[in-house]
Amino acid sequence: MTNSLRLQQLVKLIDITRLDDNDTPTAFNDWVTALPKLTYAAYCVYPDFISALLQHEGRSEQAQIATVVNFPSGDIATDIVCEQIQQAIDLGATEIDCVLPYKTLMRGEHGAVTSFLYDVRQAATSCCLKIIIESGELITAQQVAKATELAIECGADFIKTSTGKVPFGVSEEAARIILTVIAAADREVGFKASGGVRSVEQAFQLIQLYEEITGKIATKETMRIGASSLAEELNQQLEKITD
């Protein structure tokens, strides 16, 4: 695949992300306005900014609207998380990125995690549901694998690595474990790499890893890359090719 095609492939996989805890309506509007005009897979924003995003004339109308729930701690009560999901859908979200209760999983309480995930899947109805396992906080490879297995079992559409709010985001080791479990699943499950993906080269490496392990070409239906600072570099490289 030529570099041009690789860059075009990457654009279509990006969930362009704005999860700034100190955000303001003005700053958010300026961010959307300044974004390179690329056709991303999705925008990922806090629920409070969904309406502003939908009303912004500069957004890509082809991109999905993703938001986060049970975020970032992963320890909000299940009924509240389900309410968050319904409110987000009512606001216009088409994709839900939900944090798995990873501390509960680390205590070995797999039944509680499973119950949570089933309830979340039901609340998300027909929305694309991405489960964030917070792989950088999980201590062992077995925990990463178990979190992935439970999320798949309970109906997740994507397994997502990280919230981006902890010291360690996506790692090659965690990505390999998650992708190996996904490749063995009896249905199609997507993979979202997030947390610390800051360069085009790193993104390319993750795409290559996905394709090597799953044997599939990465598309927006099967792989996403969560990124907040990648768009500018990607746009610059695309402009060099078209000049």
Residues taking part in catalysis: 97, 160, 192
Instruction: Please provide the DSSP assignment of 161-219 as one string.
Output: ---S-SS----HHHHHHHHHHHHHSSS--EEEE-SS--SHHHHHHHHHHHHHHH-S---
Distance CA 58, CA 6 (A): 25
Other Cβ atoms closer than 10 A to 148: 27
Torsion, Cα 136 105 163 235, to 10 degrees, reads: 70
Distances (CA, A) of 131 to 39, 117, 151: 23, 9, 7
Dihedral sign, Cα of residue 164, residue 133, residue 93, residue 69: negative
Tokens of 180: 């190996």
Other Cβ atoms closer than 10 A to 61: 7
For residues 189 and 157, the answer to whether their CB atoms sit within 8 Å is yes
Dihedral sign, Cα of residue 240, residue 191, residue 17, residue 206: negative
